Structure 1
Amino acid sequence: MRLDALTGLSDGQRIELLRRVAAHLGSSVITRSGGRPSALCLEGSVDLVCILLRTNLTQEQAASIFEVSQATASRRWDLLREVLADALDTLVPTVREVVGKGGSVLVDGFLAPTWDWKHVDGMYSDKHGEAGFNIQVAASIGGDVAAVGDPIPGARHDAHAFAASGLAAKLTDHDTLGDKGYQGHTTIHPIRKPPRAELSDHDQRFNASVSSIRAAVERANSHLQNWKILVTRFRPPLEKFPATLRAVVGLYYLKWAFE
């Protein structure tokens, strides 16, 4: 079985992840009641959770890969999702460690689709035409993820989510560059066309240069979106999404640190 393709991790990265998860769990092990051997060992359980994050298969589909029940897959998902996030937390760098002291950062947001659960207001994004979380991302000029904000209901626009997600507070020591949606909230942004007038040639060239630089943050977004649970509709209850996002961010930096 090609676990590297299913988990998105090399053998070395999977070994490092397992080591960190085992250390985080301490002496606890996955066992059945009465101390009987588990249907799925810790290594297999970690792989299963990574596959769910990477591919967004249903739990039943993921369970079939390991020849266990859907109930076992569900228990491993609930047990290890936040453990993965916590075990990888020390790998998450500061913005300064990614872009350098005083380095400039690019900011952008994307929608992580979800079901439109009725008990949570404001999830539907008119801009994207579906419900989800607004995920705010900061990137280096080279396209590396520098920081990720907390998830914000998708109805809120980028300028609001930039601050509400906590991302703006992480970037106070850095010049920031965003698109027109961040006007007044980032250091640099495109110039809006004035009412009943056209942009000058100088302003058009400036906007073109901003757009070309901003391509790097779209690459950073795509690195996170390789984990399909962020782009192909999150099916679990919404309260499980923050830990899921933290786990994906941790796995991104695991790959970054152990290429």
Structure 2
Amino acid sequence: MAGVLRADPLWVETFTGLRMKQFERLLKVVRERGGDGPRIGRPWCLPLADRVLVAAVYYRTNLTMRRLAPLFGVSPATVCRVIQRLRPLLAPEPASRPVDAADRLWIVDGTLVPVRDRKVGASSRNYRFSANVQVIIDADTRLVVATASPAPGDRADAHVWRDSCLPEQCQDVTVLGDGAYINTGLVVPHRKRPGRPLPADEEADNAEHRQVRARVEHAIGRLKNYKILRDCRQHGGGLHHAVRAVAHMHNLALAA
């Protein structure tokens, strides 16, 4: 790998959060999805391994193109072209539905990602122009199972859930959600009625529900270690690709 990667291999773990073997698996996915071709026009000034590293570092650090360029000895325009070319290749389609999906427990939650693209986001409750991103994880493995296309941040989680492709992917699977997903068919906490305290057994159910559902909040917190999800400057489908790419790298780091 060292002969392919021109940058110092120490950069991989320092700037991407992936160990070398995990980065090699990421590189393999990009190569299999056509990262090296078609070779039309001038050849790339960086090998594929370094180009994948450029994109991974961008997602992890959210540095501007102008700041990334000197780290790799290229121009900001080259960094921009590399990211535009590789961002869909770093974001593979969700894995095929496992055969034992009906026996598993999944958890869903929405998170707000600040964006610059006015066509993607909306003024939100976090006082930022944001997009609502829905994330599903497996309760046992903590791996990201699926993500939905970003929706305007002023939309409720239940509405975003219903309008997304996630309900189809979750057929016959038990999915936990918080109180925002009421009347969606998900397992949600018992509602407390005004002036009527919950029975002891329902309070116990809610406490267990909170304990399990916290896993998705922890997973989203780890996803946001990739700072692209704290202030996304990408336009168009850039945020969707960024979410999927970050979920892919998160799964690589967690599964190994």
What TM-score does the superposition give when structure 2 sets the normalisation length?
0.85
What's the CA shift for 1:140? 2.2
The aligned amino acid for 2:29 is R
Using the alignment, how far apart are the partners of 1:250 and 1:51 within structure 2? 14
Using the alignment, how far apart are the partners of 2:250 and 2:41 within structure 1? 32
Using the alignment, how far apart are the partners of 1:129 and 1:23 within structure 2? 41
Using the alignment, how far apart are the partners of 2:202 and 2:64 within structure 1? 49
- The corresponding residue for 2:76 is 70
Using the alignment, how far apart are the partners of 2:204 and 2:183 within structure 1? 20
Query: Which sections of structure 1, spanning at least 5 residues, go unmatched?
Result: none
Residue range with higher mean Cα deviation, 247-256 or 4-13: 247-256
Q: Is the CA contact (8 Å cut-off) linking 2:134 and 2:148 kept in structure 1?
A: yes
Using the alignment, how far apart are the partners of 2:35 and 2:195 within structure 1? 66
- The corresponding residue for 1:254 is 252
- C-alpha change, 1:71 and 1:187, in structure 2 (3 Å) is closer
2:192 paired with 1:217:
no
SS of aligned partner of 1:101 = helix
Using the alignment, how far apart are the partners of 1:121 and 1:133 within structure 2? 6
Using the alignment, how far apart are the partners of 2:133 and 2:66 within structure 1? 28
More helix by share: 1
- The corresponding residue for 2:14 is 5
Show the 5 A alignment for 1:34-113: 38-85=44-91, 88-89=92-93, 92-96=94-98, 100-113=101-114
Identity %: 31
Residue range with higher mean Cα deviation, 156-165 or 217-226: 217-226
Q: Is the CA contact (8 Å cut-off) linking 2:121 and 2:151 kept in structure 1?
A: no
The aligned amino acid for 1:151 is P
What's the CA shift for 1:177? 1.4
What's the CA shift for 1:95? 4.8
SS of aligned partner of 2:103 = coil
Q: Is the CA contact (8 Å cut-off) linking 1:133 and 1:153 kept in structure 2?
A: yes
Using the alignment, how far apart are the partners of 1:200 and 1:42 within structure 2? 60
What's the CA shift for 1:246? 2.4
CA offsets, 1:210-229, max 9 Å, x none?
A: 11111111122233223221
SS of aligned partner of 2:95 = coil
Tell me which stretches of 4 or more aligned residues in structure 1 moved more than 4 Å.
29-32
* C-alpha RMSD of matched pairs (Å): 2.4
What's the CA shift for 1:23? 3.3
- C-alpha change, 1:215 and 1:114, in structure 2 (3 Å) is same
Q: How many corresponding residue pairs?
A: 246
What's the CA shift for 1:168? 1.8
Show the 5 A alignment for 1:186-197: 186-197=185-196
Q: Is the CA contact (8 Å cut-off) linking 2:111 and 2:134 kept in structure 1?
A: yes
